[in-house]
Each structure stands twice: as structure tokens, then as C-alpha cells.
């Protein structure tokens, strides 16, 4: 493990994106997005992903200095063409439109085509919550999820996020892949040398496997809910809803038509679809924030099954991680990540990330 000052993390990621070809504005926004994932305790979506974005810029699959375009709108909706920019540039552009429309009409529902991976979905939903709105973000991703009964994948991990502001300093925060787990969790089990729990992943024969090595090689995740007996078709359904809102609505690539995403940056433009939504809770009953805070605080007071494991409200884990990061002023990375970052610095000829050994 190595610790890196938060400012240095941001500096390094911004430099790498700029060295790859991104202008200062898209590079800074994208670095901030990745840093927030590390800050909030979701390392799979942070520095860990930097090289994949860099390679997409270098290969030309992503064109970070284009401008997203608003190509169609109604009082409460918009369709945006991301023009192959970074997913962060497209998502910020789209969410700002959604927030504006929600302030005017109560709801803003914006779909995006021609985009790239937009990182941690919760970042975008939270933009709306910081403006007093219920924020939602959906995106399709490269195929990894096997529909119930299918031997192979046909949908992405298709995350969805809902974030809402509450009274008393509370915030409702949900950001989840619609697969049972993300690929990163398979890797963690492999590192620990432990078998996978049931319901996570399929082997090449289409049957559930508990072998992390085989699961990683196969790259075929089970939907939230696992197998058919435990209602995995619901997770399949949710992944499909995310696709319905993202690629199907916006005219981007969808489902089985999306390229695999790899470290090489090959495969041409991703043409991913997103959906960014803002709903103004002031349009409904007064006291929204108070009721939401009451519900959140009720959860924390519930008697736990195991006294050592208190019940957490949604978002508590992220809140705690962010607080720790801010207190320490540093982010901790595993050795492998530090080494990858050093190699990337060398490749891009940027100043290496300054690591405080510990």
C-alpha cells in the first residue's frame, strides 16, 4: 500500500489525460470524477480506470476536445450527441440541461448518444441533488451480464444511481451495478484466494462457477439476484431498463451491439448511451427532506441481526470513506496500482505520482 496526497492524485490524473491529448477542462473534470470514486471508497472506478480512458484518447476512439451538442428538445426532455467526448464531459453537459428543465417544468429527462464510459454514475446523480433535485443517472456499458438462462452476456453491468437531498445534513445515495457484483469483486476474491459466493458469475459452460480464476477468464457476470431461483431475472430486467433509458432511447449502441472495453483502446468509438434525470421534489408534498431524513435515521437505529454489524443507511459507506479521505488528506492505493501508475507516467512522459510509502 502507498499513500498519495489527494491534490497529487488529481494533479497526476489531470496530467496523464492532458498528455494523452485532452484539453485542460475535460482533463480536470474527468480527473475529478475518478478522484471522487477513490475518495468515496470505490477504487474500481478511480485511478484504476485511468489507463483505459487514456488509451481511448490515444487511439482516437474518444475525442475529448469536441463539444457535445443538444440536437433535440421539448420542455422536459433533451437528446444530446456526445460527439465522442469523454463520458464526463457529455454527462455534465446533459445533467446541467436536466437540472435547468427540472427547475422550469418539474422534470428534466435527457438522453445522450455518442459518448464514452462516464465513470461512477453516482457522481452525476449527485450533481442534481446538490441543486435540491432528485438526481438519477443511467448508462449502458460493454456486455458482461448474462440474461437469465443465457450462456453468454448480452447486456452491460448497466449501473443506475439515485441521489436525493434530505434535511439534517442527510443525503440519500444509491449507486449500483445491476449485476450481482462488479468485475473488481471477482479480482478481490482471487487475491484473497477464496471461492466466489453463489450467484456472482458464470463459467464458459453457462453454469454458475465459484472459481474466481475461471470467472475472470469467462467475464460473464450474473444479474443482481443471481440464478433463476433467487429471481436473477429481476436484475436482468433492471439492466434492461437501464439500456432502455440509455442506448435504446438515445440511438446509441445498445446491449449486444456495444464493443468490448479493454485496456488497449481498440475497437473504435464506443458510442455509449446515458440518461440523466432531475426531478424537483418541491413539486410534490412539502416536507420531502424531513421525511427522507427521518427514514434514513430510522434505518440506522434498527436492531441489527449481528450486534457487531450495525445497520447502515444507503450512502453511509461512501460518506464514511469520503470523510476519512478528507481527514487524512491522502488516498491509499495497493502496490499493483502504484506500479501501474508509475508505468503510465513513464509511457506518457508525465511527472510520476509522488507516493508516501507506509
**Interface with its own copies in residues 250-309 (CB under 8 A):** 250-251, 254-256, 279-281, 283-288, 291-292, 295, 298-299, 302-306, 309
Q: Does 226 bind its own copies (CB under 8 A)?
A: yes
Residue 188, classed as helix, strand or coil, is helix
Q: DSSP assignment, residue 221?
A: B
12-20, 34-42, 84-92, 205-213 -> range binding its own copies (CB under 8 A): 205-213
* Residues 6, 9, 15, 18, CA torsion sign: negative
Q: Judge contact between 155 and 147, C-beta under 8 A.
A: yes
- Nearest CA to 175 among 113, 229, 115, 129? 129
H-type alpha helices, 164-256: 183-192, 212-218, 232-243, 249-250
Q: How many CB atoms lie within 10 A of CB 326?
A: 10
Residue nearer to its own copies on the CB measure, 143 or 265: 143
| Rg of the Cα atoms in the chain | 20
Q: Chain centroid to CA 84: how far? A: 18
Q: In this chain, which of 58, 312, 322, 348 binds its own copies, going by CB under 8 A?
A: 312
Residue nearer to its own copies on the CB measure, 47 or 144: 144
Q: Does 199 bind its own copies (CB under 8 A)?
A: yes
Site for its own copies in 128-157 (CB under 8 A): 134, 147-152, 154
Q: Does 72 bind its own copies (CB under 8 A)?
A: yes
Residue nearer to its own copies on the CB measure, 60 or 204: 204
Q: Does 83 bind its own copies (CB under 8 A)?
A: no
Q: How many CB atoms lie within 10 A of CB 205?
A: 10
Minimum CB distance to its own copies, residue 310 (Å): 7
Q: Chain centroid to CA 253: how far? A: 18
Site for its own copies in 328-357 (CB under 8 A): none
Q: In this chain, which of 13, 238, 337, 353 binds its own copies, going by CB under 8 A?
A: 238
Q: How far apart are the first and last CA of the chain?
A: 7
Residue nearer to its own copies on the CB measure, 85 or 155: 155
Q: Does 58 bind its own copies (CB under 8 A)?
A: no
Residue nearer to its own copies on the CB measure, 231 or 332: 231
Q: Does 192 bind its own copies (CB under 8 A)?
A: no
Residue nearer to its own copies on the CB measure, 105 or 219: 105
Residue nearer to its own copies on the CB measure, 174 or 345: 174
Indicate the length of the chain as a whole number: 358
- Nearest CA to 22 among 113, 91, 88? 88
Q: Judge contact between 87 and 116, C-beta under 8 A.
A: yes
Minimum CB distance to its own copies, residue 157 (Å): 12
Residue nearer to its own copies on the CB measure, 38 or 175: 175
d(C-alpha 338, C-alpha 328), whole Å: 18
Q: Does 69 bind its own copies (CB under 8 A)?
A: no
Site for its own copies in 165-184 (CB under 8 A): 172, 174, 176, 180-181
Amino acid at each position: 500500500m502507498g499513500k498519495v496526497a489527494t491534490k497529487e492524485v488529481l494533479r497526476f490524473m489531470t496530467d496523464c489525460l492532458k498528455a494523452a491529448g485532452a484539453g485542460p477542462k475535460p482533463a480536470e473534470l474527468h480527473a475529478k470524477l475518478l478522484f471522487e470514486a477513490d475518495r468515496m471508497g470505490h477504487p474500481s472506478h478511480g485511478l484504476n480506470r485511468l489507463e483505459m480512458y487514456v488509451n481511448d484518447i490515444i487511439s482516437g476512439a474518444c475525442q475529448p476536445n469536441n463539444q457535445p451538442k443538444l440536437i433535440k428538445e421539448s420542455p422536459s426532455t433533451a437528446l444530446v450527441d456526445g460527439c465522442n467526448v469523454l463520458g464526463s464531459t457529455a454527462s455534465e453537459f446533459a445533467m446541467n440541461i436536466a437540472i435547468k428543465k427540472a427547475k422550469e417544468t418539474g422534470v428534466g429527462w435527457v438522453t445522450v448518444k455518442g459518448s464514452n464510459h462516464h465513470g461512477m454514475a453516482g457522481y452525476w446523480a449527485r450533481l442534481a441533488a446538490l441543486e435540491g433535485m432528485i438526481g438519477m443517472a443511467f448508462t449502458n456499458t460493454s456486455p458482461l451480464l448474462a440474461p437469465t438462462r443465457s450462456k453468454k452476456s448480452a447486456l452491460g453491468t448497466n449501473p443506475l444511481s439515485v441521489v436525493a437531498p434530505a434535511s439534517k445534513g442527510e443525503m440519500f445515495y444509491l449507486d449500483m451495478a445491476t449485476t450481482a457484483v462488479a468485475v473488481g469483486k471477482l479480482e478481490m476474491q482471487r487475491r484473497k484466494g477464496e471461492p466466489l459466493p453463489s450467484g456472482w458469475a458464470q463459467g464458459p459452460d453457462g453454469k454458475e462457477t465459484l472459481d474466481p480464476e475461471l470467472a475472470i477468464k469467462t467475464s460473464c457476470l450474473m444479474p443482481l439476484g443471481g440464478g433463476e431461483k433467487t429471481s436473477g431475472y429481476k436484475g436482468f430486467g433492471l439492466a434492461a431498463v437501464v439500456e432502455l433509458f440509455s442506448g435504446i432511447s438515445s440511438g446509441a449502441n445498445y446491449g449486444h451491439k456495444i464493443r468490448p472495453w479493454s485496456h488497449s483502446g481498440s475497437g473504435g468509438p464506443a458510442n455509449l448511451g446515458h440518461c440523466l434525470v432531475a426531478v424537483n421534489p418541491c413539486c410534490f408534498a412539502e416536507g420531502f427532506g424531513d421525511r427522507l431524513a427521518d427514514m434514513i435515521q430510522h434505518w440506522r437505529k434498527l436492531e441489527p441481526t449481528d450486534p457487531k454489524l450495525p445497520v447502515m443507511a444507503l450512502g453511509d459507506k461512501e460518506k464514511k470513506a469520503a470523510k476519512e479521505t478528507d481527514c487524512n488528506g491522502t488516498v491509499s492505493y495497493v502496490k499493483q496500482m502504484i506500479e501501474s501508475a508509475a508505468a503510465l507516467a513513464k509511457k506518457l512522459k508525465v511527472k510520476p505520482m509522488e507516493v508516501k510509502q507506509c
